[in-house]
Amino acid sequence: MDFLINESQLRIILQEQDQSRMSDYMKELYSFTSNLVTKVKKTFGLNLKLLLTWGASVGGLVMPLDNFIRTGRFELTEEQMTLILVGVACTYFYENSKELKKILIKINEEGLEDVFKEVLVKSKNLKKSFLRFLSSINVTLGSSLDLITYSFLIPIIADIAYLGKGEVDMQTTAMIVAKRLVASGVVTVGQIALTDTIKKILKRFE
């Protein structure tokens, strides 16, 4: 038996598929962080499991830097790229810690100080751009760590904006997206706060 659906119903179905894909994005970001932690443990003997606490957020900040390194003029081994990326991640999530100091020593031993500084500057520019965007939609964060915690949004802002073009109202869309992201199990932001932030993103691109 064939079932006919109207255009509005079709858009809702497609929208739900996109929202499900966002949950997959979160798992991909977490997996990226998990792989970094595993590699740095295996290669350099450093235990950075605490990064997994903010797994998707770390991935949101560091994954674009991985692309920056791979598409740039750098000639680094996989191990060296891993060291640079965890160095940047620990600068934000392990600030003034013994782990960060150990990584910086390893970076110096590998002669990667200049590369690390360049990638770190890139990360700071990315962070500033993200902060300006959040400010433009009136999202107020209490601390620098709050900003970093929301970094998982960086790679999916365009996808969130796309969802706002459907026929489902903005509040409903924001609630569904936030629920999917929180349900992924790798996001540390609460659903209510995340719903409010996503609604503001949708309104920004309305």
3-state secondary structure the chain: CCCCCCHHHHHHHHHHHHHHHHHHHHHHHHHHHHHHHHHHHHHHCCCCHHHHHHHHHHHHHHHHHHHHHHHCCCCCCHHHHHHHHHHHHHHHHCCCCHHHHHHHHHHHHCCCHHHHHHHHHHHHHHHHHHHHHHHHCCCCCCCHHHHHHHHHHHHHHHHHHHHCCCCCCHHHHHHHHHHHHHHCCCCCCCHHHHHHHHHHHHHHCC
Q: What is the pLDDT of residues 76-96, one digit of tens each?
A: 999 999 999 999 999 988 766
Q: What is the pLDDT of residues 150-182, one digit of tens each?
A: 888 888 888 888 776 665 678 878 888 888 888
Average pLDDT of the residues in 18-34: 80
Quote the mean pLDDT of the chain.
Answer: 82
pLDDT at 1 over 50: no
pLDDT of residue 157: 85
pLDDT of residue 18: 54
pLDDT of residue 15: 54
Q: What is the pLDDT of residues 103-151, one digit of tens each?
A: 999 999 999 999 999 999 999 999 889 888 888 888 877 666 777 788 8
Confidence of residue 35 (pLDDT cuts 50, 70, 90): very high
pLDDT of residue 134: 87
Kindly report the pTM of this predicted structure. Answer: 0.81
